[in-house]
Structures are given as C-alpha cells and as structure tokens.
C-alpha cells in the first residue's frame, strides 16, 4: 500500500477533479491531514491507514488542549471523515475509524452588519471629483446595492452589465462548481454605473479594448486585496469600525433587505445561496423588530 502522504495526495486529487472543491478548502484539508500523518508517524509510529478510534480521539483532545477553536477541530474532523470514506470506497481500508466520533457542536457566528448610517458615511467617503474617487464610489455602491461577493465585483466585465434591462450577470465559481445569476439594479445605481462607463472608465483604459469593468493601479484590473485596502482606508476616514471588510457590505445588504420586509427567498436568489439555511442567518436582526411589534400590538402585552 502507498504511504500516508501518497494516499493524502491521491485523496486531494480526487477532491479537486471529482468534487470540484475550492483551492482554499483543498489547502485546509491538506494542512490538517498532513499534520495528522506526521503526528502519527512521529509519536505512534503508525501510518494514517492504520489509525484506530483511540488514536483519533486522542489527537482531537490534543488539538483542543493546544487551543484550537471548535470550528477548526470540526474542520479537521470533516477532512478526516471524508478521507477515510474515500479510502473505504477505494478499497484501501475495511472500516472507518471515525464512525463513532461525534462532531463538536459549534455556535453559529453572526455576521458583522453595518447600520444604515455607517453605510451612508462610506458611500459618501470617496471624492467623486477625481477618477479614482468616482470609481471607488461606484464600486462601494454596487457592492451594497447588490450584495455581491468581492471576487464577483472585481471580476465583472463590461459585458456583464445590462443597464437597459436593469440587471448585471454574475458568475460565481465556488466549491460546488460554476454558477450564474442575474442581480437587479436600482435605477440610481444603474445611472451611476452608466456615467462611470462613459466618463470615468476610459480614463483608466484609454483606447484599449479591455473587458474588465474596474481597474486599479497601472491600468490593471482591480483585485480583491486592492479593493479591501480601499475599504479599510475609507472606513478609517469616516470613523467606521476597523472590522469592516468588503464582505460586510454583503451581510448588510441582506440584513437591511430583510428588516425592511423583503422575502427570504428573494434575498437567497440575489445572494446566490443554493441552500436557504445559509440565508436564514441574516434573520437574526429580525428578532428585535418582531419583539417590538408584539409589545406594541399584542393584547396581552
């Protein structure tokens, strides 16, 4: 039988080709499994395919004692379970040593959400009298007005924008493959994008026929990291929390829509969530509003 590290490489190749997992997930699985294999060989003189239940539970206890979060422990356990299921299907082992191990319970983390006032301050932060300021203002507005992921925003092309019909076409490649969705644009946002394309974008690209909608320095397409730095700079400028990231706009978009009465399914479609349970986390701010309504209108209050 191949050694531990060859089996791990085979498994990661399977995940990449057959299941289309993202590079981030593959990197995390590789880190967890290789660390486990090294621990087994150094301390127990075992290969990863010789593991017994006691070995795995002892390693989980070791991870917790070292201060690893329950979220990270759960990720490691998921990687290990998937790995051993793969070995069984491939006929490399006869039984899953983790079949009796329970997953740790994790508290659902609530997303950071800006107040409408904070959003207004950030929207007004760029100096729209300059080309870069106009570009930044349109990007920030588009991010909040549509709930796009920052990678979706920075990868937009001019051909993805359909101003006459009032929508943008968004392509997303996540862990489960490529997806595409249409996201509606408010009239004001569409008009600002139109002005940007007509008057500001040419200052970045000149006469060249380049597909990207937004550009950073040296006439190169705007990157996620570049836009993240812009958000940090504007947040500091207007006194908004330093914890703000481009993804905070996505959280705020969804939460503000739901607070103002939007349908959960509609928000799910605009965010591009395949499972509505992912969207339901944004209903956490609905609870105070519902309590207020009950106190105001319920006859027993």
> Catalytic: which of 95, 106, 162, 176?
176
Which helix (H) or strand (E) is 139 found in, with range?
helix 131-146
> Catalytic: which of 59, 75, 84, 149?
149
Respond yes or no: is residue 162 known to be catalytic.
no
> Catalytic: which of 135, 250, 251, 256?
250
Respond yes or no: is residue 176 known to be catalytic.
yes
Respond yes or no: is residue 250 known to be catalytic.
yes
User: What counts of helices (H) and strands (E) characterise the chain?
Assistant: 14, 3
CB-based contacts of 72, cutoff 8 Å, min separation 6: 63
Respond yes or no: is residue 282 known to be catalytic.
yes
Q: Is the CB of residue 175 less than 8 Å from the CB of residue 25?
A: yes
Interatomic CA distance for residues 34 and 123, integer angstroms: 45
Respond yes or no: is residue 29 known to be catalytic.
no
CA atoms lying within 13 Å on the CB side of residue 121: 16
- What 3 state SS string does 212-273 have? ECCECHHHCECCHHHHHHHHHHHHHHHCCCCCCCHHHHHHHHHHHHHHCCCCHHHHHHHHCC
Respond yes or no: is residue 167 known to be catalytic.
no
Q: Percentage helix, strand, coil, to 5, in the chain? A: 60, 5, 30
Q: How many angstroms from the chain centroid is the CA of residue 141?
A: 19
> Catalytic: which of 47, 81, 247, 284?
247
Q: Which residues are catalytic?
A: 149, 176, 247, 250, 273, 282
């Amino acid at each position: 039988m191949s050694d531990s590290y060859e089996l791990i490489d085979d498994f990661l190749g399977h995940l990449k080709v057959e299941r289309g997992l993202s590079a981030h997930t593959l990197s995390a699985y590789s880190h967890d499994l290789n660390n486990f294999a090294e621990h087994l060989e150094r301390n127990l003189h075992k290969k990863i395919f010789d593991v017994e239940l006691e070995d795995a539970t002892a390693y989980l206890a070791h991870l917790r004692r070292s201060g690893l979060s329950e979220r990270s422990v759960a990720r490691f356990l998921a990687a290990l379970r998937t790995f051993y299921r793969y070995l069984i299907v491939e006929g490399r082992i006869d039984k899953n040593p983790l079949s009796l191990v329970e997953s740790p319970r994790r508290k659902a983390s609530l997303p950071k959400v800006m107040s409408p006032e904070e959003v207004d301050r950030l929207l007004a932060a760029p100096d729209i009298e300059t080309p870069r300021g106009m570009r930044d203002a349109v990007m920030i507005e588009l991010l909040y007005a549509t709930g796009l992921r920052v990678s979706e925003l920075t990868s937009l092309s001019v051909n993805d924008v359909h101003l006459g019909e009032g929508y943008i076409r968004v392509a997303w490649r996540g862990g489960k493959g490529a997806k595409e969705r249409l996201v509606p644009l408010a009239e004001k946002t569409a008009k600002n994008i139109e002005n940007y394309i007509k008057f500001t974008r040419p200052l970045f690209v000149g006469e060249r026929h380049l597909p990207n909608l937004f550009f950073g320095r040296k006439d190169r397409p705007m990157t996620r990291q570049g836009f993240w730095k812009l958000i940090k700079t504007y947040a500091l400028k207007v006194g908004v929390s330093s914890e703000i990231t481009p993804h905070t706009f996505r959280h705020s978009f969804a939460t503000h829509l739901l607070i103002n009465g939007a349908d959960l399914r509609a928000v799910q479609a605009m965010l591009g969530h395949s499972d509505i349970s992912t969207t339901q986390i944004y209903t956490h701010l609905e609870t105070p509003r519902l309590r207020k309504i009950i106190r105001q209108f319920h006859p027993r209050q």
